[in-house]
Structure 1
Amino acid sequence: MSQPKGGFHERLQALSPRRQQVFMAALCERLLPNYALYAQMTGAGNPAGVKAILDLVWEQLSVREARIDFERQAEKLAELEPPADDDSFGARRAVEMVVALTSLLDTLRGESADAVLEVSRISKGGVRAYIELTEGEEDAGRLAKLVREHPLMADENDFQDAVLEAVEGNLDREALRALRRLGRNDGVSNLGLEAG
């Protein structure tokens, strides 16, 4: 199979809306453990509720005839967002999961042209924040280099490249299941964390 032309972002934008939605759904799967971990640590949030909404997204992507009220799902999801006054690291990563899934729901409701780029950025941004938190490098130049070369960022980039490559190919039900498994990553998030 010939490699599609253009850089990563151009290729993402060139995808059909459904393929973009599959890409975002796979990234949301990988963000889900961060939300679950936040809920586990704080007792706030509802990972099962968030997962149920993501399950409905996969159902819509797999069964074209599925009739799901994503307006209602977006309302439910908004209620599951961490409290606005919680500025902890865990809460911010949980919010990223909610924002990414909200962007995906927006596209299923026919809105939000740049959602796929937004979700890609959200996932990479969380990794960057985690590296900055754990490495504690003050010098901006050294920190930028550290982030670029960090194994977690390399893993994130490889993951997004693999998902993009997969969604550019055949998207039958088996391919969708494989992408969902890839996103689940054995329960390990983009930060290399897993909820117990």
Structure 2
Amino acid sequence: MSKANNFQRIRELNFLQKAALAAAILERMLPNYQLFSDATGFGDQTVLRNALDLCWEKILVPKSKISFEKQIEKIEPNVPELSQFDMFGTYPAIDVSTALLGMVQGLMTKDEHEFVSVAKISQATVAKYIEFLLMAEEVLPDNQQVREHPLMQYEIEVLAELIEHVETMGRVTSESVKALKSLALADGQTNIGIELN
């Protein structure tokens, strides 16, 4: 399953399908923030968790009145500054915050490009992590190594699986959303392969 193929398939989904897919991808990214927060004492993971829950609510009940402006105001102070932390975990934490802000923005402005970006950000997080791992082994990473790395192959596979689920799930109902969420978390790890206990 080639990467371009996945993104082409995402573009062919309707608005709600794209939104549900992006929220499912965020479920896999969010625990990275918790790990960063636990390690540094910075940020409040519950703010991000609540915002993502509200995104799901909006996807399920498009008419629900949710102040996404307020959510953006709450999330922004929780986005870490790269310059303030000397650890790799800052990158995934920034990525999930950025992806979540995009998701909220997309639901607010009905801009489905934001949902496609969530998938791209997730893949970029994985690429950064692979580069970090290779450099730790004193290997200078190139694009091919990153692309062929098992973690990236796995990210592409999981994305393909989630897309397939969304393509075939029909109407967005609480049942189909529950199934999508559990599929996203079925392997018990974040998008960069960190085990969730």
What is the identity, as a one-letter code, of the residue corresponding to 1:82? P
CA drift of 1:119 comes to 1.1
Change in CA separation of 1:75 and 1:186 when aligned onto 2, cut-off 3 Å: farther
- Give me the identity figure in percent: 32
Structure 2 runs not aligned, ≥5 long: none
Alignment of 1:61-72 (within 5 A): 61-72=59-70
Following superposition, which runs of at least 4 residues in structure 1 exceed 4 angstroms of deviation?
Answer: none
Match of 2:194 in 1: 193
What is the identity, as a one-letter code, of the residue corresponding to 2:109? G
Match of 1:131 in 2: 130
Match of 1:75 in 2: 73
* TM-score normalised over the length of structure 2: 0.87
Match of 2:176 in 1: 175
Change in CA separation of 1:185 and 1:102 when aligned onto 2, cut-off 3 Å: farther
CA drift of 1:172 comes to 2.7
CA drift of 1:84 comes to 4.9
Structure 1 runs not aligned, ≥5 long: 1-5
Matched, 1:153 2:152: yes
Give the secondary structure class of the aligned counterpart of 1:132. Answer: helix
Aligned length: 188
| Higher relative contact order (CA closer than 8 Å, sequence separation 6+) | 1
Matched, 1:184 2:182: no
Given that residues 40 and 195 in structure 1 are in contact (C-alpha distance below 8 angstroms), is that contact kept between their aligned partners in structure 2? no
The match for 1:43 among 41, 62, 79 is: 41
Distance 1:129 1:59 in 2: 31
What is the identity, as a one-letter code, of the residue corresponding to 1:172? T
* TM-score normalised over the length of structure 1: 0.87
Given that residues 30 and 185 in structure 1 are in contact (C-alpha distance below 8 angstroms), is that contact kept between their aligned partners in structure 2? no
Distance 1:159 1:188 in 2: 11
